[in-house]
């Protein structure tokens, strides 16, 4: 028997946005929009009556803001929530707070008629990917991620760390996973480069939030930075991030080439650029996310001599990208998010001591 349609409730104070989102989902045999709510109080009643599988949620609404509603929802009736937010500075910061409160993904409100179709495509993908998330996954999404003292064993002692790189890729559930990982890393780390699927306008707020919570410095890459130890560089939404060698220096470069896997930034674009480097110790990490972005890039990294790890299903919010990397033979290791802060330095010590990445 086929599964029943995924029931979606749209929550937004704008009737126009509610109609846009509802129309974008209508006509799909496996998705049913069960209703639209103009504020959290109406949404609460509709959730009890209609029992939706997935919720889309605006942040700025009357009577109760979206974040307050989300926190109450995750405490009493956890369910997958996709944030649909504006691209204002305050909206971006609030969206990052919503992700920390338990939302599993974020999409930008359409800026005009031309962007409505793309939003519909992405929203359908997200709804299908997060249907039926296990309660444990929702609990992980909503878990507080206050900075934790790193274990004594989380140390990078190899002097070649200044010439090495840690690369991280993630999609759905990634902001929570990345924060959990980076807050457990010591200040003395090799440079870290990050490709997180996130719309343009939100990655700066994401990097600023991480910078406040982590021992390392975290910035949104502007392109042209020389990679430095103790700094993490987040790919800006709408741009691919690659790393290039200029003499003994490793530098970032941004470009607006075609999307890969419907994404820009794409993890594959970052990983493939790293696989082309010579003489650079690299550890590649692929975290939670839907789809297959990063899987082929991780295969290329492993073939080039890097150590690679994919997040274990037990700690993933969405076990899509890691599953593909494992299936294609790209993962040297499979580890839970909790294990990674100690495993990454171990991997880095081995790759720095042995044969380093060569041109593929």
The residues annotated with a catalytic role in the active site are 171, 197, 293
Q: Cα–Cα distance between 165 and 298 in angstroms, integer?
A: 14
The tokens describing 37, both together, are 């709510």
Q: Cα–Cα distance between 17 and 33 in angstroms, integer?
A: 14
SS3 155: coil
DSSP structure string for 136-151: HHHHHHHS-----PPP
Pairing of strands 165-170, 282-286: parallel
Q: Cα–Cα distance between 358 and 31 in angstroms, integer?
A: 46
Q: Cα–Cα distance between 91 and 73 in angstroms, integer?
A: 20
Report CA dihedral (277, 279, 283, 289) to the nearest 10 degrees: 10
Q: Smallest Cα–Cα separation from 9: which of 31, 30, 29?
A: 31
Contacts of 10 (CB under 8 A, 6+ apart): 18, 21, 22, 33, 35, 36, 37, 56
Q: Sheet containing 81-85: which strands, arranged edge to edge?
A: 31-37, 6-11, 54-57, 81-85, 105-108
Would you call 162 exposed, middle or buried from its count of C-beta atoms within 10 A (0-12, 13-18, 19+)? middle
Do 54 and 21 touch, CB atoms closer than 8 A?
no
Contacts of 249 (CB under 8 A, 6+ apart): 226, 227
Contacts of 44 (CB under 8 A, 6+ apart): 69
Q: Which residues pair with 309 in a beta bridge?
A: 285, 333
Residue keyed to tokens 């593909």: 324
Residue keyed to tokens 């209508």: 26
């Amino acid at each position: 028997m086929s599964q029943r349609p995924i029931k979606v409730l749209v929550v937004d104070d704008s009737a126009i946005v509610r109609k846009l989102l509802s129309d974008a989902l209508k006509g799909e045999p496996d998705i049913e929009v069960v209703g639209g709510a103009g504020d959290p109080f109406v949404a609460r009643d509709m959730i009890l009556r209609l029992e939706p599988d997935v919720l889309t949620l605006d942040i700025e609404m009357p009577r109760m803001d979206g974040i307050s509603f989300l926190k109450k929802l995750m405490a009493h009736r956890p369910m997958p929530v996709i944030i649909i937010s504006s691209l204002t500075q305050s909206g971006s910061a609030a969206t990052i707070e919503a992700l920390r409160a338990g939302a599993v993904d974020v999409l930008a409100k359409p800026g005009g008629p031309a962007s409505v179709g793309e939003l519909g495509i992405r929203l359908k993908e997200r709804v299908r990917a997060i249907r039926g998330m296990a309660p444990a996954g929702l609990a992980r999404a909503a878990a507080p991620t206050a900075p934790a003292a790193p274990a004594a064993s989380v140390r990078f002692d190899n002097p070649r760390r200044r010439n090495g790189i840690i690369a991280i890729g993630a999609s759905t559930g990634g902001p929570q996973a990345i924060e959990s990982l980076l807050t457990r890393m010591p200040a003395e780390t090799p440079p870290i480069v990050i490709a997180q699927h996130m719309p343009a306008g939100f990655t700066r707020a994401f990097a600023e939030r991480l910078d406040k919570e982590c021992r390392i410095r975290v910035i949104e890459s502007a392109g042209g930075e020389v990679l430095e130890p103790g700094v993490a560089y987040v790919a800006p939404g709408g741009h691919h991030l690659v790393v290039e060698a200029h003499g003994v220096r490793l530098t970032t470069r941004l470009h607006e080439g075609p999307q890969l896997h419907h994404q820009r930034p794409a993890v594959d674009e970052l990983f493939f650029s790293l696989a082309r480097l010579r003489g650079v110790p690299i550890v590649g990490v692929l975290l939670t996310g839907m789809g297959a972005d990063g899987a082929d890039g991780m295969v290329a990294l492993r073939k080039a001599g890097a150590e690679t790890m994919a997040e274990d299903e037990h700690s993933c919010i969405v076990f899509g990208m890691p599953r593909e990397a494992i299936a294609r033979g790209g993962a040297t290791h499979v580890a839970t998010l909790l294990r990674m802060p100690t495993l990454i330095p171990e991997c880095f010590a081995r790759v720095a001591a042995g044969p380093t990445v060569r041109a593929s």
